[in-house]
Structure 1
Amino acid sequence: MQKDQLFTRRRMLLAGAAVLGAAGTAGLVVAGGEEEAVRTAAPAPVPGPQARQAPLRSSAFRLRPLTGGAPARPAPRRLKVRTEPIFRIPEHGRQMMLTFDDGPNPDYTPHILDTLAKHDVRAMFFLCGECVEVNQHLVARMAEEGHVVGNHTWTHPLLTTLDRSEIKSEMERTSHIIEKTYGELPQWFRAPYGAWNRAAFQLGAEMGMEPMAWTIDTTDWDTPGTDVIIDRVESGAAPGVVILSHDAGGDRSQTVEAIQEWLPYLLDSGYHLTVPNRRL
């Protein structure tokens, strides 16, 4: 995409989102319902040499025109139905991935984006549709700065308590508003509370989304204290690890403070913070 097209699209999105307000949803990591949530333990920490990652190139996840003379977008390719989510990324060197759930939120997401930009790091944001609806400008910023976004349902319900049609509605509505604000359909899905069931796996595959879980839970949703969050990240760091944090769903000031400490620590320890390719 040409630079002038990108800026024109971003100005359109930001102008359309300027009148909107703020909202948030809640997030916990539990199992519930008739089917058991998938869990995993964090790996042991691995020390590394002092290193810094190279400056980022322009994003491959830029916005594209959605109206006017643009051709119709093809339906998402159906994927193989998994029976458990992805917990880790491939261990290509000392790579890790940062993920943030439940946003965007105007009180916390901008500060997290600022910290990521300061250190030239991209992350993955699993968005709730009702939060996207009132914070579209933040999703446009995520696209502009090269972050990847995923589907985290519309209202953050416990999927194991819903029927298939309700789950489908939660996922479809969120994918549609992400496409509208981010510029393309999400290719990743995360079940609220980490509570997966067969319908979620099947519907996600039908919508072209892979299920993504996590390796390290910072427990920031429980506001355990900034030092506890920092220790959980630094002690659990290892190649292939996926870190779970939250940028909405409650008071996330500890998360905002903690990332300012643990992010430069990871970079100084030789880790490269990455985002997934089009397909893992």
Structure 2
Amino acid sequence: FTSTLLDKLKADNFKATFFINGNNGGCIYDNAEVVKRAFNEGHQIASHTWSHQDLATLNKDQIKYQMKKLEEALVKILGVKPIYMRPPFGSGVDKPLVMSTLGELGYKVVTWDTDTNDWQGRTTSQCLNEYRNASPPPNSHIVLNHDTIKNTATNMAPQAFKIMKSRGFKINTVGECLGVTDPAKWYIKVGAPQTRDNTWVCKDSDITGP
């Protein structure tokens, strides 16, 4: 469904931030072309960990695994290592171990202030009410949606764009909202993508690591 959302974003000339998993209900390598398209069209690619584990329940080595395993995939596919990450469930932001480990790895943690809860099967109208009820400009909002949900990508999000635009909001990436206008500075590392080989796979055994 992400390709449909990218079509809508392109038509409206909006940029978004995609927080990406590696092995969570699908494999990033199987969707490499979609990830490349989003990146090449100017959207921000950020980390949502390798396999969507609750970081607050992990030890330091496990947290590092979740971050580095996804880094490995993004470097292969795009040649970049992101600076920004969103913790699964928003969990761990109050845990010193989580925050210090992410900091050591060079990450800036992003959460949200407006949640459509689209993953709970809410109706389009219920989701759109979050946009209608968000405090108006000059207030800014980080809104959480899931492009892996068909209704969000194909129906709700395009309507949300119209609502926010009509209310005077500018739809931007997280980086731009933070004043970082140079896309290269959304990443710790920027290089050339790699050629697909037999390491571009996900396994059940790599979900939680060694």
Q: Considering the TM-score relative to the shorter chain, is it more than 0.5? A: yes
Equivalences for residues 125-140 of structure 1 within 5 A: 125-130=18-23, 131-140=27-36
Name the SS for the 2:52 alignment partner: coil
| Alpha-carbon distance in structure 2 between the residues aligned to 1:191 and 1:270 | 29
- Which of the numbers 227, 230, 235 marks the counterpart of 2:125? 227
The runs of 5 or more residues in structure 1 that have no matched partner are 1-107
Q: Determine the structure 2 residue equivalent to 1:242.
A: 142
Question: 1:186-240: CA deviations, max 9, x gaps?
Answer: 0101110110132321222122210000010011010111111111122115422
Is 1:180 the equivalent of 2:39?
A: no
The runs of 5 or more residues in structure 2 that have no matched partner are 187-210
Query: What is the deviation of 1:137?
Result: 0.7
Task: Give the TM-score of the pair, scaled to structure 1.
Answer: 0.58
Moved more, 200-209 or 144-153: 200-209
- Residues 113/266 of structure 1: CA separation in 2 closer, same or farther (3 Å cut): same
Query: What is the deviation of 1:185?
Result: 0.7
8 Å CA contact 2:54, 2:89 repeated in 1: yes
Give the aligned length. Answer: 169
| Alpha-carbon distance in structure 1 between the residues aligned to 2:29 and 2:101 | 22
8 Å CA contact 1:223, 1:254 repeated in 2: no
Name the SS for the 1:273 alignment partner: coil
Name the SS for the 1:129 alignment partner: coil
Identity, in percent, stands at 26
- Residues 198/262 of structure 1: CA separation in 2 closer, same or farther (3 Å cut): same
- Residues 138/237 of structure 1: CA separation in 2 closer, same or farther (3 Å cut): farther
Equivalences for residues 117-156 of structure 1 within 5 A: 117-130=10-23, 131-156=27-52
**The structure with more radius of gyration:** 1
Name the SS for the 1:155 alignment partner: coil
| Alpha-carbon distance in structure 1 between the residues aligned to 2:172 and 2:135 | 14
Task: Give the TM-score of the pair, scaled to structure 2.
Answer: 0.76
Question: 1:149-199: CA deviations, max 9, x gaps?
Answer: 111111101112222111110111111211222231101011101101323
Name the SS for the 1:174 alignment partner: helix
Q: Determine the structure 1 residue equivalent to 2:151.
A: 254
Give the counterpart letter for 1:113 in structure 2: L
- Which of the numbers 62, 66, 76 marks the counterpart of 1:170? 66
Q: Which has the higher contact order (CA 8 A, sep 6+)?
A: 1
Root-mean-square deviation (Å): 1.5
